[in-house]
Structure 1
Amino acid sequence: MKIFISVVSHNHGKLIEKLDTLSNLVSKDIIIIVKNNTHDKTIEKYCKNKEIILINDNYYKGFGENNNIVYKYVIENFKPNNDDFFLVLNPDVKIDLDTLNKFTFECYKNSSKLSTLNLFTDENLKIHDNNIRKYPQFTTFLKSFLFKKNDSILNKSKINKICKVDWAAGSFLLFSIEHYKKIGGFNPDYFMYCEDIDICYRSSLINERVNYYPHFSAIHLAKHQNKKLFSKHFFWHIKSAFLFLRYKNKHTNE
């Protein structure tokens, strides 16, 4: 069983170098592929020094499309087995090798095809990252944009056993190799935002919901982009929100 880790770097070279999580994960059964999304010399140097695979072309693609590029590279160059895994990992997530191996093995043992773990935003593992949620409605996005409230967030402090959830953030998503292919990977129509909601929803349409493992932890040093009104991130989020709601409404009414 191998784990193929996909990391998209959009000027994250200095952060990846500072955290140095990736070099600590390299092993005979873990292959890390970084997709460089800009002309970032720092990540080029880092990957060369740490012997990490770097895909250094096709710049300025969206998050989902970049991960699809990495997946295609894995298929073409490694010919993975069906019991291998494909991990979508943010460059700002810290996880140790032992945790990753144990988490992945439990997913394998439980035949989990799409999974996530318990992310925190602090080194002391006290502040939960809201990485698991219910599917959003139109009002969910409206409240989030206008009032900074989000009623889709699940209270992780009350979850102490493995369970199914609607969707999990793309900062850490573990797919079985065959399942990623079966659901067609990420939808490249999403440039940024909601592509993780979409892929989890499409997985649920074939009866494979996200498995949440609360007893495995990692740190997500999240610095969310400013989505103030009329910023480019605001418009990207609006576009993605309507794209997802339209798709979900279509399948709900079928």
Structure 2
Amino acid sequence: MNMIHIAIVSHGHEELLISSQLGGLAQAGAPMQVWVKDNLPSDSLRRYCEQVGVHYTDASPGLGFGANNNFLFQLVRQSDGYAANDLFVIMNPDIAITAAHIAELELRMQHDQAVSATLNLFKDHAGTIADGNIRIFPDLLSPLRVPLVRSLTSVYDKSKLPESCDIDWCSGAFLAMRAAHFEQLGGFDDDYFMYFEDVDLCYRSYLLTGHGVRYYPDLHAVHFGAHRNRSLASPHARWFLSSFMRFIFRKYCVYPRRPHTLKPL
């Protein structure tokens, strides 16, 4: 099995990461390594990472989501034993998953020759509340659908998807990508400080390969996500809307056009 590198960015999540043993992955052992970037440096998190053998850095604080993960990828790329066929996994600090599920994901990706993939996220351990982590690329008409879908991006109905399939894009809460492919794409676009950087990355991957993100519905994890306040007065709302407009502009005016063959189910 190839080495699996798991990137986690903390913004004051030290208590959560320590209590959850870094989402259940601390001391997972070879061939799996965990890399933590701490944007609000915490002595307790640093000590814990040293204790359990997790790579820790608090360098370059204040970066956006994509830039933080790009920073971690460069550390991975410079590490001993790094290989282009390694798996780079972007994972939120509020994800709970087993090492066995990530190892199985790697095996499935090898079998399917998939360069990017995700799994089935739920909002509870019982697996009764689905997380909308797989979605359809937004387009010019997306703002008109907001009253219906309550979002600028439409979710897939997971109950209608086959055992495994390609989907447009998945949330950066959990995204696995072959290291060589992530590097070929140039990683995340740093112009997105927050929001839509995962949409943009998946779209560029689709343009390059002609394939979407591989989705494995029988591999489960829990995402205890809390949506930020997006009232029009909040900075998160401004970041969200500006990032949406940036993606739409690039999709239609900058990126090469390719017939979109992935059909919503």
TM-score, normalised by the number of residues in structure 1? 0.93
| Identity fraction in percent | 32
Once residues 63 and 87 of structure 1 are traced to their aligned partners in structure 2, the CA distance between those partners, rounded to angstroms, is 14
Map 1:1-254; keep pairs closer than 5 Å. Answer: 1-20=2-21, 21-24=23-26, 26-141=28-143, 143-144=145-146, 149-150=150-151, 152-206=154-208, 207-250=210-253, 251=255
Tell me the alpha carbon deviations over residues 201-244 of structure 1, each in whole angstroms, 9 at most, x when there is no partner.
00011123211111111111111111111201001111111110
| CA positional deviation for 1:47 | 1.2
The answer on whether the counterparts of 1:183 and 1:202 sit within 8 Å (CA) in structure 2 is yes
Number of residues of Structure 1 aligned to a counterpart in Structure 2: 253
d(CA) in 1 for partners of 2:100, 2:163: 20
The one-letter code sitting in structure 2 at the alignment partner of 1:128 is A
Measure the CA separation in 1 of the matches of 2:160 and 2:148: 25
Q: Is the 8 A contact 2:170 2:198 kept in 1?
A: yes
Cα distance between partner residues in 1 of 2:241 and 2:156: 22
Q: Is the 8 A contact 1:13 1:46 kept in 2?
A: no
Shift in Å at residue 26 of structure 1?
A: 2.4
Q: Deviations over 1:121-151 (max 9, x none)?
A: 111011110000101124424654x777136
Alpha-carbon distance between aligned partners in 1 of 2:245 and 2:81, rounded to the nearest angstrom? 37
Aligned residue type for 1:168: C
Q: Which amino acid aligns with 2:20?
A: L
Work out whether residues 22 and 32 of structure 1, in 8 Å CA contact, stay in contact via their aligned partners in 2. Answer: no
Contact 1:25 1:96 in 2 (8 A): no
Secondary structure at the residue paired with 2:5?
A: strand
- Deviation string, structure 1 residues 70-127 (Cα, Å, up to 9, x no partner): 1111111234223210000111011111111111111112111000011011110111
- Unpaired runs of 5+ residues, structure 2, are 259-265
Structure 2 contact 25–98 (Cα < 8 Å) conserved: no
> TM-score scaled by structure 2?
0.90
Q: Any conservation in 1 of the 2:9–2:92 contact (CA below 8 Å)?
A: yes
Instruction: Write the deviation string for residues 17-47 of structure 1: whole angstroms up to 9, x where unpaired.
Output: 1222254462111011101112333322321
SS in structure 1 of the partner of residue 36 of structure 2: strand
Shift, 1:252, TM fit? 5.8
The DSSP-based 3-state class of the residue aligned with 1:247 is: helix
